Structure 1
Amino acid sequence: MKFYISTRHILGTSILFAIEIAIAYFHFNHFIRGFLGDVLVILLIYCFIKIFIKNHVLKTAVSVLAFAYFVELLQLFKLAEKLNIHSEILLTIIGSVFDWRDLVAYTLGFLLILLIEKIYIKNEDFKNISL
């Protein structure tokens, strides 16, 4: 396996992480914190993974979306409550309340990834994809 590091994705991850920290720290309105933050977290996770993975845009994006859905499913089953987690940091990361709107936000983040990659990257994964 060839070693790969994407400086572009390091930059993207850093910017998105800073935005997410700002959203959490400054307690913006519910739409920004509760919805836009969830859209951006999908892009953040995707960018982080893409630091190390050169190709497979679609597979990576689908994997990130599946992971986000899985975490939301764990919230539906109240995993944090069952594990007796009280740490605000952990509760912020894994969440504690299921909300179907989060699934919409995650899906929009996924679609935004595909759109950005389709526009800016001429990638082999997109030869047969139409948006």
Structure 2
Amino acid sequence: MGTSRKILRLSWVYLLLSILLFLLEFVIERYTHDDFIRPYVGDFFVVMLLYTLVRSILNISPLPTALVVLFYSYVLEFTQYLQLSRILGVDQSWIGRLILGNYFAWGDLIAYTAGILVVILLEKLFSVQRNQARVA
């Protein structure tokens, strides 16, 4: 009989990373009012936050998780291109802007992609280190 793998689990490492990334996002949102850090660095880290949140509760491999988070981010950005928040009438509420965003920007897609690429590289790096530690 094959081994059964639980899909739900709590990873304290990813949960801690999620909390740290959330705090970083909060600081960026609250105290940064420029044209680079807030829009692009914030988007770079927000995909990492989403990734670590998913990995903190779901036992799914890194690459599929990263690709789903990236796809989700692209879809959300596309809804901004379609001005879905305005169509739904939630563009004036802070929760609507938080969930659906305000406006479409190609740079956001680049920031999401860069953030996910860093996640994949870090996962690969730490996976190699864990495997080497097991062998040693």
Q: Same fold (TM over 0.5)?
A: yes
Tell me how far 1:84 sits from its aligned partner. 1.1
Out of 100, 105, 120, which is 1:114 matched to?
A: 120
Q: CA deviation at 1:101?
A: 0.5
Q: Deviations over 1:69-110 (max 9, x none)?
A: 000000010001111111123213321210011000000011
What is the alpha-carbon distance in structure 2 between the residues aligned to residue 93 and residue 19 of structure 1?
18
Q: CA RMSD in A?
A: 1.6
Aligned pairs, how many? 123
Structure 2 distance, partners of 1:23, 1:50, is: 23
Instruction: Measure the CA separation in 2 of the matches of 1:47 and 1:19.
Output: 14
1:1-131 matches, cutoff 5 A: 2=6, 3-85=8-90, 86-122=92-128
**Which structure's CA Rg is the greater one?**
2
CA distance in 2: counterparts of 1:47 and 1:57, whole angstroms: 10
**CA–CA distance in structure 2, aligned partners of residues 77 and 12 of structure 1:** 32
Deviation by residue 1:8-41 (Cα, 9 ceiling, x = unmatched)? 0010000000000111111342211000000000
SS of match in other structure, 2:37? helix
% identical aligned pairs: 33
- Unpaired segments ≥5 residues, structure 2: 130-136
Alpha-carbon distance between aligned partners in 1 of 2:58 and 2:127, rounded to the nearest angstrom: 14
Counterpart residue identity of residue 83, structure 1: L
Higher mean Cα deviation, 6-15 or 24-33?
A: 24-33
2: distance between equivalents of 1:117 and 1:58? 9
The separation in 1 between residues aligned to 2:12 and 2:120, in whole angstroms, is 20
5+ residue gaps in structure 1?
124-131
